[in-house]
Amino acid sequence: MNRLAPAFGQADLTTCDRELVHLPGCIQPHGVLLVLEEPTLTILQTSSNTLELLGVAAGELLDRPIDGLVGEEELADIREALGRLNLDANPLYLATLQVGAKGMAFQVAAHRLDGLLYLELEPVLPSGLVRTRSAGAEAREIMAELMRAPDLATLCHVAARRVRALTGHDRAWVYRFHEDNHGEVIAEDRNQDLPSFFGLHYPATDIPAPARSLFLLNWLRLIPDAHATPADLLPAVNPQTGNPLDMTYCALRAVSPIHIEYIKNMGCSATMSLSLVHQGRLWGLISCQSTKPGQTPHDVRATCELLAQMVSLQLGAAEAQEDADYKLHLRAVVEEAIAGLAETDDVVAGLAAQSDHLYRFVRSDGFAIVTPDRLEARGETPAEAMLQSLAEWLPTMGDEPVRATNALATLHEPAAAVQDIAAGLLAVQISSYPPITLFWFRPEVVRTVQWGVNPNKEKIEQTPEGARIHPRRSFDLWRETVGGRSLPWQRHEVEAARDLRNGVLNVVLRRTAAVERLNAELELRNLELDSFAYVASHDLKEPLRGIHNYASLLLEDYGDRLDEEGRRRLAALLRLTRRMEDLLDSLLHYSRLGRRDLHRDEADLHSVLNDALDTLRGRLEESGTEVRVLLDGVRLPCDRVLVSELFVNVIANAIKYNDSGEPRVEIGLGAKPDDSGARIIYVRDNGIGIPPRHHEAIFSIFRRLHPRESYGGGAGAGLTIAHKIVERHGGRIWVESAPGEGSTFFFTLGPGDAQE
Ligand code: ADP
């Protein structure tokens, strides 16, 4: 690519961004430019059209003082104004004067640059554009209306309408530059002579960088007749500076041929543009067009400039207000969402309940909450499979929990298939375990634009070559450049998303902290309870033993002195003390379980079970119980003493609560681990079974379903102890059973032990 700046008129669409538009070497021919030396006011350069407008050929003017063109009084007026006004890089209207041999009246404006004085003469002619009212009268009314505009859109519409009314143009636009410098017509006022382009977007190249910087220096740019042939400067190079004339501040400056082509392709002859500047940046333009050529006199221009400056001043306030409203809205949604969340225990359910609300959070067309087993979507979103795949892809991008892109497919290729609805993505990973992700989607910009008119309705008459720079063609070009992109996410939208995540996490953390506190308290209480049970059972055993001993002595020494009834009662007392001792022993044992350290080592479960079977040997043989073991090669981290005791308790029950005549017990491993990954061990018997309503109660201490005497009796603590043992391992125990169908006890020994 040619990095050199192309000379005026030499640029094409690829180089117009560097064209030297301030050095055109020619002017628009509706006026005359005189470049003078001060203080003599000698003419150094002039435009070539002096004969037509002033009645004097250019060659006759050069190197002569201006005196020959104006009368003495006029000259005095000019000199007076030149002495009074600050004209450095600042063109000002001086006066309306008769200039030249034809006696025509001209509006004269002047400025200084590079030690040269520029006089620009524009004839006071019946304007081609019709105006109805005096500019001055309207000015005050306009200002009042602009001040009343409640928002940006109204402000811009008032500006468009007023400028058109002031100048009499066929159409007026307010054109706004986006962050990437592409433009959008955000307000329009027009008659029927020109079509509407309202809502259309244009690529940044439509107003190339050099033109944009000139717009920053000059608030107003006038092209009365795009079809007119420019008038050259004579001589081409300024004799004083030895350089081409810098026409940065010239109202008559000739227009770049590329821009002329653009205007002609729009079907226009005259245009006028006013700069809208905010914080030193070209925010946009008020741009007018007409099918017919036409001038705009200085007083109207002054009013227009004033209007543009007024709008510029108000832009900041209007935009700031819009921004502030939006920020308030974002904050309100975050606060409401968090407040709503605080009322539920389940974060996902809480967020899901607020889907409608969260959908309205940032400006988007679709919203979704995605977890591995739940999906909640609003508006336009990709299908479930794509949402899940996005949720899985997101963490692979790094640790940042909040991400925003306006070109998703460039980061995640599969999303190209859904870019019409998801070109833009704002994603918030609330947590990675469990994975909870919130998504907001924006469609491609081309889908977002408002269609002012049907783009196919108006035919482009020119050849494809000629139509290369036409607003419609530009619009198509712009559509191509923004394909796959959404409107960008604003910084405060992303920040608000971060606030939302922090808020949700705070609620969760606070709740977790509360649960942890509760757990810690419970643990303490358990420990206290265990200690109490220990002390109680330990201390109660002493007096109980005393009672037992005295009762035995009574029976031995005084039994013969008692009658039958007396002896029977003493025997019952002894039995009860023994029973009470059993109960206290169980309680003591149970309380020790809670306080004892857990010695958890990798153990072969079969050998642990064998320890238990050894303990039970006598009872197994006596009852003739058949034992089947299916635990080969199963190794688990566990406290083997405790787990052996657990087996003893459960298998002892299987032996006891059996009247089948052929008691059988099978101990084995469940087919697959539970949800936490822990393996399931089962103990199955063909005994009497347990009604479902007792399935939970049997694990409570001293809870028995049968009279003590039946089925060999027991303290009712065996399953409570079993429960405590699995609990200490972090596992679970439960039963499946029905009367007459045998029972199967299942237990696990803590999560995550599933590795073989
Ligand atoms: P116990 O010392 O009375 O056996 P457990 O806590 O071991 O106390 O059991 C509680 C109750 O659950 C028992 O009294 C019994 O009624 C019932 N039970 C326990 N295991 C079985 C089983 N395998 N079959 C039928 N009933 C059972």
- Supply the residue whose CA is at minimum distance from atom 8 of ligand 1: 716
Spatial CA neighbour of 74 closest among 49, 41, 32: 41
Which of 469, 470, 468, 475 lies closest to 452 in space, CA to CA? 475
Amino acid at 69: L
**H or E element, residue 56:** none
Residues 41 and 55: their CA atoms lie apart, in Å, by: 20
Tell me how far the alpha carbon of residue 636 lies from the centroid of ligand 1, in angstroms.
26
Q: Please, which residues bridge with residue 719 across strands?
A: none
- For residue 290 and ligand 1, the question of a CB distance below 6 A is answered with no
Longest Cα–Cα distance in the chain: 163
Helix, coil or strand: residue 335: helix
Cα dihedral across residues 695, 701, 706, 712: positive or negative: positive
β 733-737/402-405 pair status: unpaired
Q: What is the reported pLDDT for 463?
A: 40
Backbone conformation region of residue 287, classed left if phi is above 0, alpha if psi is from -120 to 50, else beta: beta
Tally of CB atoms within 10 A around 256: 21
CA of 448 relative to ligand 1 center, distance in Å:
71
Pairing type for strands 743-747 and 366-371 reads unpaired
- Distance (Å, whole) CA 188 – CA 199: 9
Whose Cα sits closest to atom 11 in ligand 1? 704
What one-letter code names the amino acid at 684? R
* Residue owning the nearest CA to atom 14 of ligand 1: 704
* Mean pLDDT, the chain cut into blocks of 10 residues (756 residues total): 60 63 89 95 96 94 92 91 93 90 91 95 70 64 88 93 93 90 90 86 78 86 93 92 92 88 86 93 94 88 91 87 89 90 82 92 94 92 94 89 93 91 94 88 72 38 46 65 82 93 85 72 70 75 84 86 88 85 80 79 93 92 95 90 93 94 94 86 96 91 77 81 91 94 94 48
For residues 206 and 471, give the distance between their C-alpha atoms in angstroms, rounded to a whole number.
Answer: 8
Contact 467, 430 (CB under 8 A): no
Extract the tokens encoding 465. Answer: 């070559």
State the pLDDT at residue 207.
Answer: 79
Work out the angle at residue 645's Cα, subtended by the Cα atoms of residues 712 and 728, and round it to the nearest 5 degrees. 125
How far does residue 692's CA lie from ligand 1's centre (Å)? Answer: 13
Q: Rounded to the nearest whole angstrom, what is the distance from the C-alpha of residue 723 to the centroid of ligand 1?
A: 13
Interatomic CA distance for residues 738 and 692, integer angstroms: 6
Q: Kind of pairing, strands 681-685 and 402-405?
A: unpaired
Among all chains, which residue has been given the structure tokens 């004269």?
Answer: 108
Distances (CA, A) of 74 to 71, 123, 311, 555: 5, 16, 36, 149
Q: Which residues pair with 394 in a beta bridge?
A: none
Residue from 698, 709, 747 whose mutation best tests the ligand 1 pocket (most atoms within 8 A of CB): 698
Would you say the CB of residue 685 lies under 6 angstroms from ligand 1? yes
Q: Which atom of ligand 1 is nearest to the CA of 703?
A: 10
Task: Check residue 169 and give its pLDDT.
Answer: 95
For 214, half-sphere exposure in the C-beta direction (CA atoms, 13 angstrom radius) is: 26
- C-beta of 719 in contact with ligand 1 (< 6 A): yes
Question: What is the spatial distance between Cα 212 and Cα 106, in angstroms, rounded to a whole number?
Answer: 29
Q: Whose CA is nearest to atom 3 of ligand 1?
A: 716
pLDDT for the residue 755: 40
Q: Supply the DSSP symbol for 657.
A: S
Residue type, 735: V
Q: Please state, in angstroms and rounded to a whole number, the distance separating the CA atoms of residues 50 and 118.
A: 15
Short-list 54, 66, 64, 58, CA closest to 101: 54
* Crossing angle of the two packed helices 605-623 and 640-656, in degrees rounded to 10: 30
Q: Say yes or no: CB of residue 654 within 6 Å of ligand 1.
A: yes
Q: Taking the CB of residue 32, how many other CB atoms lie within 10 A of it?
A: 29
Task: Give bridge partners of residue 148 from the DSSP assignment.
Answer: none
**H-run or E-run covering 431:** strand 424-432
Q: According to the model, what pLDDT value does residue 653 have?
A: 94
720 lines ligand 1 (CB under 6 A): yes
Tell whether omega for the bond before 123 is within 30 degrees of 0, i.e. cis.
Answer: no
What is the spatial distance between Cα 78 and Cα 250, in angstroms, rounded to a whole number? 18
How many whole angstroms from 687 Cα to the centroid of ligand 1?
Answer: 11
Look-up of token digits 């590079």: 114
CB 361 within 8 A of CB 404: no
CA distances from 729 to 18, 584, 645 (A): 76, 25, 13
Which residue, chain included where needed, has tokens 């020109």? 194
Closest residue by Cα to atom 12, ligand 1, is 698
698 lines ligand 1 (CB under 6 A): yes
* Residue 714: predicted pLDDT: 74
pLDDT score of 511: 75
pLDDT score at 198: 85
Angle at 239 between CA 233 and CA 241, to 5 degrees: 105
